[in-house]
Structures are given as structure tokens and as C-alpha cells.
Amino acid sequence: MTYIAKPRMHHPSLTKNAVGYTRRDYEGKISTLCAGCGHDSISAAIVQACWELDIAPHRVAKLSGIGCSSKTPDYFLGASHGFNTVHGRMPSVLTGAALANRTLLYLGVSGDGDSASIGLGQFAHIMRRGVQMAYIVENNGVYGLTKGQFSATADRGSLSKKGQRNADAPIDLVALALQLGATYVARGFSGDKAQLVPLIKGALRHGGAAFVDVVSPCVAFNNHAGSTRNYDHVRAHNQAVNRIDFIDLAPEINAAQAPGEVLELPQPDGGVMRLRRLHADYDPTDRIVALTQVQALQKAGEIATGLLYVEPGAADLHAALNTVPQPLNTLAEADLCPGAQALAKINGALR
Ligand SMILES: Cc1ncc(C[n+]2csc(CCOP(=O)(O)OP(=O)(O)O)c2C)c(N)n1
Ligand code: SF4
Ligand SMILES: [Mg+2]
């Protein structure tokens, strides 16, 4: 396959963010995905989120598995660190990288096949360990790359392009992430960028395991009538429970908003995330309520989107293990070796 490189020239008047980069600096190679694939819209949302958050591209490490979705890190953040792993194994590689160097921002990109089929065990353990990351699943209900077989997230009773009915119960990654202890759980739709960009920004700012499930139609194999992942079906059944209006560092109450309409969530970096409630009784800080309400909407045939759960002061794996702040490859022998006396003491305690 030949890649068409984008021209490197920037117009001098392009707007720069606070760290001196234009939006173009967050792009990657030209996409080779099918025209209209939802995954390309998610790449554009990631570019927008990182640019707006003033994240320097070289501070990000993007990791993925195998699939059309897992190819997308080639199409955004071309100046970031990247590792395209084996099918379903992105979480363990991300965990290792995050443990070795906690100074980078970790962005995991995966597909529903990659995370809910072959990689389900890995998905479970990265969520329960609380690895600090933004983990995005580009969920189309099929294995797009291998030509449209049902994935484990496909709804029971939905039809394949050739008319076969899916007999298996679906795995809902949102419900799983909630049960497994993820501390930021959201769902977006690739066709709603205004909702998706703030959800990704919130995940990148979160202090623990952040999971974003993005319904992302596959136009080649899963966009027909009878599929529950086609653009029309998702638009008709998308039930946003809230909207993140903005995340900023200077909280200011908007007097026009009714009491209780805006929920303010303090962030670890001193900022405040503000949620505009769309369902008055939806409480995104209560894990059990979130799980119940997401499943109730699902039973009614609706797709709950928005910030479904957040634990504002969440801790991560580094806090649990009490690790050093420096990247491990910068530690000298003196930092790593406690000395003969300390070693003798440890050995003595084990006798
Ligand atoms: C170990 C292994 N098993 C199977 C495959 C074949 N394979 C490649 S991509 C894929 C599924 C991808 O589906 P998904 O993660 O949903 O990504 P999509 O293409 O739909 O974005 C499979 C089964 C593989 N590459 N490696
Ligand atoms: S096969 Fe489907 S998932 Fe893959 S690029 Fe085409 S539309 Fe996207
Ligand atoms: Mg898929």
C-alpha cells in the first residue's frame, strides 16, 4: 500500500494553541479507510481534543491492536509516540509502557473485535487495575477489517449484510467497564462530534482508567437495514443523558441555568468539569445508578450516550503501587540498588 503524504507547509496565519501548535500539527497520514467510515470522524475528534487541550503531541503515547479502528493512530497525532500491537493485546503493552514512564499521556485505541472478542481478558484487567489512560473503542458491531463478521458487541437479532441473524447475546463494554471499576465511563457517537470532543477531553484529563465507547458505523459491512449500528438507527435511538458543556480552569456559574441543571465536578488538576444534565434523575457519580439506567435504556432499545459515570478524585495504578515519578530508564544504579546492608536486612527478614 502506498501512503499519500500530506503537504508539510502550513499557512502562516493558522491559529496556534497555547503550546505553539496549529491543528494541522495534530494530524497524521491521509486515511486509507472507506469514505464515510465512522472511525475517521473519531480521529478528527481526537485531533480536535488534543489541540484544544494544549497537549504537546510528543507528550502522547498512542497504542492500538489490530483492525480498521486500530489502524487509525496512523491518521492522527503523527508526531506522537506510537505502538501498534498484536490483536487484542494493546492493554498489556499500554500497562507496561505506563508503568515504565508515567510522564506521558496514554491513549489506547481499539475496536469491538479487538477489545470485546479476542482481547476481552486484557480489557478487563486494564480497567480493574486503574491504569491512567484514555481508552477508546471504535465500536461498529463487526470485524470490519476481515469483512464484516459479527463481533461480540453485535445485538442479538440484528442482521448481517447478507441477512444472517445474530443469535448471541451482546457484550456491552460500558456495563463491563462500570462493573470492573473504570473511574470514567462515557459513550459517544462518531456522527456527533460536538458531544464526542468534550468526552475525549474529559478522558484525557481524568486521573484514572477512562473508557470511551464510540458507536462508529462501518459503511462497508454494517450500515444496512436490520443492523443496530447503522447511521440512521443510531441517530434515531441516541439518548444523551448529559452534555459536557466545557471543561475549564476558571469556573463561573451561568445565571441562566436552572438550579440542579449543571453538575460541577472538580478535577485533579484544579479545574472543574461541568455537566449539563439532560435527564434530571441521572447521577453520573453513582456507579450503581449509572449501570441500572444504562441497562434500562438498552432494554428499551435506546443507546445511552454522554458521560455515564465519573469518580472525580480517582486514583490510578501508580498511586496503588507507590511508584517513583521519574521514568524508569532515567534511574541510576544508586536509585535502584538499596546497598548491601539493606539487602542483608531484607534477606534476614525472609529467613
Ligand atoms: C491473532 C489474530 N486473530 C485474528 C486476526 C484477524 N483479524 C484481524 S482484524 C480482526 C477483527 C477486527 O475487528 P475490530 O476490532 O472490531 O476492528 P474494525 O476493523 O471493526 O474496526 C480480526 C479477527 C488477527 N489479525 N490476529
Ligand atoms: S471496512 Fe468498515 S470499519 Fe473498515 S474502513 Fe471500511 S467502513 Fe471502516
Ligand atoms: Mg469492529
Decide: 275 and 262 in contact? Cβ < 8 Å.
yes
Task: Rounding to the nearest 10 degrees, give the CA dihedral for residues 286, 289, 292, 298.
Answer: -80
Which one of the ligands is nearest to 70 CA?
A: 1
* 178-198 exposure pattern, b = at least 16 Cβ within 10 A, e = fewer: bebbbbbbbbbbbbbeebbbb
Check pocket membership of 111 for ligand 1, CB cut-off 6 A.
yes
Check pocket membership of 141 for ligand 1, CB cut-off 6 A.
no
In a domain, 339, yes or no: no
In a domain, 11, yes or no: no
In a domain, 342, yes or no: no
Please list the helix, strand and coil fractions of the chain in percent, rounded to the nearest 5, in that order.
Answer: 35, 20, 45
Q: In whole angstroms, what is the distance from residue 184 CA to residue 256 CA?
A: 28
In a domain, 326, yes or no: no
In a domain, 337, yes or no: no
In a domain, 261, yes or no: yes
Q: For residue 133, what is the DSSP state?
A: E
* 183: CATH: 3.40.50.970
Ligand 1 pocket test target in 84, 146, 215 with most atoms within 8 Å of CB: 146
What is the position in ligand 2's atom list of the atom closest to the CA of 36?
7
Q: Which residue type sits at 123? A: F
Distance (angstroms) between ligand 3 centre and the Cα of 269 equals 34
Q: Over the chain (351 residues), what is each successive 10-residue block's mean pLDDT?
A: 65 89 96 97 98 96 98 98 98 98 98 98 98 98 98 96 96 98 97 95 94 97 95 94 67 49 75 78 90 92 94 93 96 90 94 93
Question: In total, how many domains does the chain have?
Answer: 1
pTM passes above 0.75: yes
Distance (angstroms) between ligand 1 centre and the Cα of 101 equals 29
Which one of the ligands is nearest to 161 CA?
A: 2
Q: pLDDT at position 255, please?
A: 44
Check pocket membership of 28 for ligand 1, CB cut-off 6 A.
no
Residues with CB under 5 A from ligand 3 (ion): 111-113, 140
Q: pLDDT at position 253, please?
A: 46
* Domain span at 185: 23-321
In a domain, 233, yes or no: yes
Check pocket membership of 114 for ligand 1, CB cut-off 6 A.
yes
In a domain, 180, yes or no: yes
Q: In whole angstroms, what is the distance from residue 167 CA to residue 169 CA?
A: 7
